Structure 1
């Protein structure tokens, strides 16, 4: 591997800025911790025209594929959520860390079962997720001395949501009223093929928008195997009814369809990512405690030189209780428990998840890309991935859960990158471990 990657050190440096494209829901681009990192399309002007002829009018600061406009955040929502929602996350963080009081635990156990509150919390999660992820993707807490905060920028791309028109609208399933059992099953399979085309089509459009603007394309979302099964179960219920007898009758075919569903998604996404070889894709591994080697997860189970799949570690530097894992399909771990980051309205909250772990890897990747540019070395995604995965804090407890067997170490990655000006990759990494054991 090191011989192959040594060739990647030679060549012209790319001219891209150190930019991450965040494919998520809406992002509060005016948050005090985000506004200085916001990407600017200098070719475009706010004049209701497509000045750069890319098909997107006035896309000065990214694009919403949900609203099909340049409005990447709705500021009408900033005062909608009650204080209990914010308190919930603070208290849940204490529970996870083992510092919660009895009174707090009693409150937490009651409110999390309140149906009205649950709906408000779910709405808040959708509202705040993009901002929380993006702040982590451009965080400047650990920076090499050669870089400044201006070296890290982000493009907000609203990818998640419920559009009412355009290519991002999910295809509708309508059960067959007539036909044989075989025809109805074939109808379900046909719909799933349309669903796969829709999913990959969305990813193609969004990554296509980002690929020439950013080195890193970030996605803290996905479809796990259990979610895939739920979708298939729902289709069978809609087509054949909800009786237990009817459902049990189709267990084998449902499993086969679920397998084909997730594999179909991954196969098409793999082809797409191969075509975008100049971008590094960073994906969250998911929060279902699943082994993604066996219970595949889209898109994080994709295994390519320009893909990093990220699981979450806890405060003890072990696998977080909720995190997916995979010896072959998870690349690396990053902290994912009670991670404090931005939420809209210049606020911060601690939140758990691989969604929080993954953008820390994107931030590290951005910094490595920028260092490579400073040193006039080739900014190659495969090289950046190799640096990140080979400079981890190794942990025996994570050996069976990831490719790298460890948790990212930013400082060691920076040291290794600096040594590339005079050493091979293998020797640079060896020296980095000697400098920072």
Structure 2
């Protein structure tokens, strides 16, 4: 479900995560910008970006590269992003389509989730939309029980309804659990007093019943293990968890919710939407954009991987599942705006119209564009389970300039694979840092988030560096360089399989068997570019 997922701490089980937050915030992940560090120098499995700038790129010239962030929105005036935001010089904010591309006032990008001055925030899951579609179809189809039993599409509907009911029941149960915990916690807060909501404050608190004793134990354990202050814990672990499951139950799984119909969006053509690049919830997309290209010279907040990038925001992903038509149109729009790299930190388990997305991907490939996609946060083996969009075309073949990215942690041990990350020996291409990645969020603020959503833009940043400093290299060459130059890992890691910890060789989790590395990639790119130039 949406944007692979800055609220991922709640993907598994709220109460489980409360007791294991220390493991999620793995040792060394508290080093700000750890994704830039070098293993040999810093004992952290970063991508050696700082080393690359110091030893390979110093004194070299580069050309600007446009990177499209297909996401939920990007804050264009963030203090660390405003200098790297794409500006369409041929367009003015005057209510006219000055450049004649069909999109009025698309100065910084486009929003396919809006109409006029209104925007879509929440959406249903693709699962919900497909169930509605099939139920409507079978409501007017006359079949007897034998025909239904032998009808593949009807059996698909039954399987989806079973999946839906399971998700609905689990979501409702989890929301009720978080609600009870939140209510108890806030009662304890009132007794402690707002000025004493600290680790020591909770240690000094004298519980008057078993519920308060439980709250005290949980909060002290999390604060001690994670190093978070109480306000951060409450906001990121409790309030966000409640919000996530409330939204999922009331919007994502709501069979009667149809925001597109309510807004009257006509997406029969490519030319719909508005220029609200930020949208109503730009948390996820702003974080992604910062990882790729936050200003490296202004001494504010953090640094992006790449230093000569223009970010074009293309709002594609609501708080819910993205629609295939929007994804296809967003890819085409990004390509036509000159993007050479498209970052896609989103995905879903069902697809309504894979062909329309495949055709857009083929268009991007034909224009020498590299598409970089987050593998997802469900700890699934993608060799066995579906995830959309993907690089495998419905009519056969694969996209030659597509990178599928899993998430890794900072320690080169059994925890190297992020516990949440999807994987796949034949489907995931490479891993990259995705645990506690510190980056930009709205209102010119910063936060560390987890997810393959964070790993994908790390790779997009590396790709942008290569394409910026070695523009003669094609998208497919850049993809191969990133895979071939990845740091190979030959030891086992712990993967939860059927709810049991299992040891699997890291090399069997992806095609490349490695973690992306900017230094090694640029070194290889330099060699290939020189060889190409000499021919």
Give TM-score, length-normalised by structure 1.
0.63
Structure 1 58/352 Cα, relative in aligned 2: closer, same or farther at 3 Å? same
What per-residue deviation string (whole Å, max 9, x for no partner) do you get for residues 351-385 of structure 1? 11000110111111111111112xxx2x4110110
Does 2:361 correspond to 1:204?
no
Does 2:378 correspond to 1:270?
no
Match of 1:306 in 2: 401
What per-residue deviation string (whole Å, max 9, x for no partner) do you get for residues 85-135 of structure 1? xx9xxx99x969954479899968983697468659999995411111111
Higher RCO structure, 1 or 2 (CA under 8 Å, sep 6+) = 2
Match of 1:24 in 2: 71
Q: Which has the larger radius of gyration?
A: 2
Match of 1:128 in 2: 283
What per-residue deviation string (whole Å, max 9, x for no partner) do you get for residues 174-198 of structure 1? xxxxxxxxxxxxxxxxxxxxxxxx9
Q: Identify unmatched segments of 5+ residues in structure 2.
A: 1-61, 122-185, 187-196, 198-217, 252-278, 298-304, 393-397, 491-504
Question: How much has 1:408 moved relative to structure 2?
Answer: 0.8
Does 2:482 correspond to 1:388?
yes
Match of 1:372 in 2: 470
Q: Given the alignment, which residue of 276, 279, 283 partners 2:373?
A: 283
Q: Given the alignment, which residue of 434, 448, 452 partners 1:336?
A: 434
Does 2:526 correspond to 1:418?
yes
Match of 2:383 in 1: 293
What per-residue deviation string (whole Å, max 9, x for no partner) do you get for residues 10-69 of structure 1? xxxxx9940111111121110011101010111112221111100111111111111246
- What secondary structure sits across from 2:323 in the alignment? helix
Q: Is the 8 A contact 1:342 1:348 kept in 2?
A: yes
Question: How much has 1:398 moved relative to structure 2?
Answer: 1.9
Match of 1:403 in 2: 511
Match of 1:43 in 2: 90
Structure 1 399/117 Cα, relative in aligned 2: closer, same or farther at 3 Å? closer
**Aligned residue pairs: how many?**
318
1:108-123 alignment to 2 at 5 Å? 111=238, 115=242, 119=246
Q: Which deviates the most, 317-326 or 114-123?
A: 114-123
Question: How much has 1:315 moved relative to structure 2?
Answer: 2.1
Structure 1 96/307 Cα, relative in aligned 2: closer, same or farther at 3 Å? farther
Match of 2:110 in 1: 63
Q: Identify unmatched segments of 5+ residues in structure 1.
A: 1-14, 75-83, 143-147, 164-169, 171-197, 229-261, 426-437
Structure 1 70/355 Cα, relative in aligned 2: closer, same or farther at 3 Å? farther
What per-residue deviation string (whole Å, max 9, x for no partner) do you get for residues 269-289 of structure 1? 334312321211111000000
Does 2:318 correspond to 1:161?
yes
Give TM-score, length-normalised by structure 2.
0.52
Structure 1 421/296 Cα, relative in aligned 2: closer, same or farther at 3 Å? same
Match of 2:444 in 1: 346
